[in-house]
A and B are shown apart, each in its own frame.
Chain A
Amino acid sequence: MVNNFLSDPGRETGRGTGPFKGPSTGSAQADPFAEQLKLGPLEFLQAAEASPSLRAMRYTFESEQVLYLDLALASYYKFATQRAPANERLNELLQDIIDDAPHNSLVSAEANCLLAVYQADEGDLSGSVQRYQRAIDVYAAVGRADALAVCFARHALTLYEHGYHREADRSLLEAQQFAAASAKPLYVQYCQLVGSLGAIYQGRAEAAAKSARALSASVCLGPGDRALYQAMQFRIAVERDDLAATESAWQALLQLQAKGIPVGAIATRTRVALLLKQGQFTDATDVVLHFLHGSPLASAVSKHQLMLDLIKHPSSAVMADSVKALFEELLKVNERAIRQDPCLDVGIALTARADHHDGSLSHA
């Protein structure tokens, strides 16, 4: 296997089907990113996912346009590939956007929302909640129901993963109401997806399956979210012992992987559990290592759970001492990173109201 760390995933060929089909030569192509963000955060993410050469574009854009481009880049790495070149410092990049963008602007709000995801995934839940709250405040102030739906949904997903299920349910409910108010199917589907994933995090496979049924195969989600959807189908099939569905869901994930979209933590954890059940410990180890290496932007919690699954398995006795020592060391470091203050208030709330919006926020 030749590692592809040197290639920029954003430069893959064959992805030029979106609104931006090649490197920009100036400001003319820069504006669409701002326009996409005006349409909504999920439209913006899909535009980023469809652009073939985000990094190359950065060198040709003017400073105020770079804000949007950097935001697109950070979204793309987080949600589409879970991988960025080692010299990218994405937290700093997002902080720069927040510092440079006008206060209460959409780009600042979305950068806060995205930074919240980054911070939570690195274990800083307290900082993350504050970021989510800032994003919520701005989106509420400008009356964006669709953006509020995404923000609450991402917050819910964060909390599901960290085990705050009750608070997560509350945020998801907010998200669903805002999505309905926005009247955009894409946003409604995104909330359904988060609901299904939440059920999986809570170990309620039947509820996840029921929720997933509401999401048809013709979902209009972007590639990153579609991979989450497929992962969920895979997990449900495994839990039901449905061999045919398991295989077809896994093949669908592999097809996405071939296009540069990682299979993600949920699918990887499911796959590892399957391999361990079949007594294939070495293969399971390889899958875990491939995930850890291939998806450095995946959440610390998911990485931790994966490593625990492996190390705590009785077969881990066959592991080479050197490898086991390194795993244990990494687990220890991870444990410190994701340990939360038990008194942490993880909730966010709508505290500001738009005075000029069209009534779409009135559900609360």
Chain B
Amino acid sequence: MADGVMSPPSDQQKRNAFARPGRAYIKVIQALLWKDWVSAARSPEVLMVMSVFAFMSLLVFYFAFELENGLGAGMTAGLLWVTLVFAGILGFNRVMASERESGCVDTLALAPVDRSAVFFGKWIGGLVNLLLVAALILSMFSLFFPISMLRWDLAGVVILGSAGFAALGTLLATLTIKSSAREIILPLLLLPPAFPLLMAAVQATRNLLEGAGWEAIAAWVNILAACDVIYLVLTWMLYDRLLKE
């Protein structure tokens, strides 16, 4: 699967890439996802840390807020996104860290491929990570508290929110790669621009859990979708210029 990119391309492959540039673009994304998947499967500490963190946060919230009697829609929405955001930050910190430690950044920057494809590869990987943790959090909520969170409409909001958040996280993980304080500076850089997105996500989640009408939810979902589009376009445009040696 990855050999088309990893080994020098044959003449036939070069001709194919030239004739069908879309195919080559998708191949770069596939190769990157494949590489990250293999390295994640061999040392699955990132997903494990994110999951354990999510579980521990729920436990802390339970004792801090005395939640035996269940919790209101506002509180649930807030807890869901707070946990997801912090678990996400833990994950984003590792998105580029492994690349940096193995010297893979330079290779990625030097590779004769479209760098926006690198962005999409990293973005999809980060998004999948985030969604796995989200699925875990939602199941734990449904299991531990008398509230059912495994719903399609809620999943839609979580996917929309995670998509924009993962785009910002991917860009900022790359942006802080040369920083001497990258682990602590990432949340500082990531959270303020993510604010409109998170606000819309929390409000949409709360309205959903309260069983509000579609009109009330649609306003927030629209903002969420608008944020996704803005962040994806912006990060996709900037990535090419930032990943450069």
Q: Are the chains A and B members of one assembly? A: no
